Amino acid sequence: MQTIVAKNTDELSRLFADWLVEYIEETLQKQDRFTLSLSGGSTPKKLYQLLATKEYAEKIDWSRLHFFWGDERFVPFTDDRNNAKMTFDELLDHVPVNKDFIHVMRTDLPPDEAVEDYNIKLHKYFDGRQFTFDLVMLGLGDDAHTLSLFPGYPVIDENHNWMSAFYLEEQKMYRITLTKPVVNKSSRVAFLVSGSGKTDALKAVLYGDKNPEKYPAQVIQPVNDELYWFLDEAAAAALQ
């Protein structure tokens, strides 16, 4: 595990962007594609805005990137709460991506059909390979959830299926999510965490007792041991 701490969210986005550019370039020297699972939320939004600037957009071979998402709220693509919509608005509509390589979680299907649709895509890409994604980007909630792995829900304990959908009572909506088996088989996993509201959750996930039912992000343990935590000083305060 590696921890990188920035002074604020602007510096955090820049540190992550530089790291990502280098990793993409390094990976594409060895293979023909780079597979990336994206995260929603306010912290990635700043990163996506930065990556869309000329300074960074020209450093990445966007035509060879394949985009997925870690989870999705079961709302239409036109809804501002939709993670994919935010990514298109801030990044994908502004850089020369191959639209055929963008894999949005379908929310125009019933939840179980959406799971099967995405599951087929994932297995088509990754079956028979040593690792799944080249990189999974994750966030951390103030309740220690990541993806749509929320405290107290059975999806935390999924050990076989790569996808799941369930009704999140607290939000009165369905969520669709990757699960720990497919994420932990990734080449690299990187958390991007900012804000003082995350300090307690972060400390519990990293240094608290092992209790995934209460701190779901603890289940993220990549088999490749390539786990990165990008934090700002506000989030990292309790770790010092």
Q: Per residue in 203-229, pLDDT tens?
A: 999 999 999 999 999 999 999 999 999
Alpha helix (H) residue ranges in 63-198: 83-87, 111-126, 180-184
**Token pair in block for residue 165:** 């959908």
Question: In 3D, which of 153, 166, 160 has the Cα closest to residue 212?
Answer: 153
Domain boundaries of the chain, sorted by first residue: 2-239
pLDDT at position 240: 67
Is the torsion defined by CA of 74, 75, 77, 79 positive or negative?
negative
- For residue 100, CA distances in Å to 63, 70, 114 come to 10, 18, 18
Count the residues in the chain. 240
pLDDT at position 221: 97
E strands present in the chain: 2-6, 34-38, 65-69, 71-73, 135-138, 163-168, 173-178, 189-193, 227-232
pLDDT tens digits, 118-137: 999 999 999 999 999 999 99
pLDDT at position 38: 98
Question: pLDDT by residue for the chain (240 residues), tens digit each?
Answer: 999 999 999 999 999 999 999 999 999 999 999 999 999 988 999 999 999 999 999 999 999 999 999 999 999 999 999 999 999 999 999 999 999 999 999 999 999 999 999 999 999 999 999 999 999 999 999 999 999 999 999 999 999 999 999 999 999 999 999 999 999 999 999 999 999 999 999 999 999 999 999 999 999 999 999 999 999 999 999 886
- CATH architecture of residue range(s) 2-239: 3-Layer(aba) Sandwich (3.40)
pLDDT at position 20: 98
